[in-house]
Amino acid sequence: MKSVLIVEDDLNIAEMERDYLQLNGYKVDIVMDGEAGLQKTLTGVYDILIVDLMLPQKDGFTIIKEVRRKLEIPIIVLSARSEDIDKIRGLDYGADDYLTKPFSPAELMARIKSHLNRYERLTGRNSALEIINYRGLEINTAAHKVYVNGKEVQLTAKEYELLLFFATNPNLVFSKEHLFDKLWSAEYYGDLATVAVHIQKIRKKIEKDPANPEYIETLWGTGYRFNS
């Protein structure tokens, strides 16, 4: 499932975009201010960014410039500003496309599909990023390496696989059963306790205080969640 981030301060428009995209099988997050939108984009878990230009905290032009310094994911501007100078500026800063409001949801959907398909053809891989960043935690998926505040930490293959699963599915709650079935059941004849053991080991390696984890949170009676 492809992930889309919408950075839009008009909740009605953002929810309309989200609903249409979800109906077409996309995972969608909404952020309503520019600074938070930039930080969320730079985590590296999104396949495409849809961004307005007129935003609180940080405008869309700045977001595009900052994202382009680090990431190559497709960026689509969706803005009420229809002047040619704004379109030229947005594209010059690194946006891949520019749509003006009011817009056709069907056209937006078609452009998203087109840009994702082209990106995958050009890169020869899925648009998932090779570097994932969360507040000092960096996962290099190409090299299979993990760093905390710039210092490499050593994970076993299964610990890395589990951490990567969490990091690419942030803010979602997963039960022990789900994690076991997803990452162990085809190859392992143990029990659910192995999930908790691996999470404890990961926490000792990446958390400042493993007893009060910042990244992998326990939701008692429910499961675990990776906080973005």
Interval 47-61: pLDDT, tens: 999 999 999 999 999
Return the amino acid letter for 64: I
Residue ranges making up the domain that contains 185: 131-226
Spatial neighbors of 169 by CB under 8 A, at least 6 apart, are 226
**Do 117 and 39 share a domain, yes or no?**
yes
Tell me the CATH number at 149.
1.10.10.10
* Residue carrying structure tokens 């000092």: 136
Q: For CA atoms 178, 180, 183, 184, give the dihedral sign.
A: negative
Q: Which helix (H) or strand (E) holds 194?
A: helix 193-206
Tell me which of 123, 151, 177 is where a domain ends: 123
pTM tops 0.85, yes or no: no
Interval 196-211: pLDDT, tens: 889 999 999 999 999 9
Concatenating the DSSP letter of every residue in 113-133 gives: HHHHHHHHHHHTS-S--SEEE
**Do 86 and 144 share a domain, yes or no?**
no
